[in-house]
Amino acid sequence: MIRWAPEKKDTVRALADEILHNYGRGRTFIAVDGPDSEAAGAFADDLVQAVAEAGHAGFRASLRDFLLPRAERERLQDDRAVDVSKLRRMLIEPFRLGGSASWVPAAFDAAADREFESTWVTGPDDSVLIVDDALRGRDELSVLWNYSVWVEGGETADRSPAGRRRAQAVIDNTDPEHPRRLFDDAC
């Protein structure tokens, strides 16, 4: 039996429409994460494109670009440890200010273990910033996001219930060309 599944563009557009309906004015922070960081990052890229197609300003960032230096991550025994001060100072607070304030979408190259040369970006007052790799094990950052999306699929499904519980939208990405929105019962 053939089962219908939505096209990726339809699922992503519907999610972008929901976000813009609820958070279309001012500066909005959207977190995207999941057990597979690459899949979540790709979904975040698709989502920012859908936001732009809807005629709204959308920008991307990744928490992987705000990691602490390797030596500090090793000392903390956390390969995902974020420089929260730099994240807030260079991305979150300037983006939140709006107006002519500029922000830095990427500050640290983890592969080279060195800081990026700062590239400052500005945008209109009504803008959406979509940040991937933002939920798993990052309780201290959960207060930053207006909306969060959990992307899972296949063998990774249901393996990170804490991140999934925090999300307003859960996406089953088992088939990346036909992702489906799941409506978990939060009762």
Mean pLDDT of 177-186: 84
Write down the mean pLDDT value for the chain: 90
pLDDT tens for 58-102 read 999 999 999 999 999 999 998 889 999 999 999 999 999 988 889
pLDDT value at 38 more than 70: yes
Question: Alpha-carbon dihedral of residues 134, 48, 14, 181, nearest 10 degrees?
Answer: -30
pLDDT value at 1 more than 60: no
Across 147-157, b (16+ Cβ under 10 Å) vs e yields bbbbbbbeeeb
pLDDT score of 85 = 94
3-state secondary structure of 90: helix
pLDDT band at 125 (very low <50, low <70, confident <90, very high): very high
pTM: 0.90
Q: Which CATH architecture has domain 8-18+25-180?
A: 3-Layer(aba) Sandwich (3.40)
8-state DSSP, 88: I
pLDDT score of 134 = 80
Mean pLDDT of 129-145: 85
pLDDT score of 136 = 72
pLDDT value at 144 more than 70: yes
Mean pLDDT of 25-53: 95
Mean pLDDT of 26-49: 95
pLDDT value at 184 more than 90: no
pLDDT tens for 153-166 read 866 555 556 777 78
Tokens of 102: 């500029």
Quote the percentage of the chain above a pLDDT of 70.
93
Residues sharing a CB contact under 8 Å with residue 43, sequence separation 6 or more, in sequence order: 12, 32, 34, 132, 149, 151, 171, 173, 179
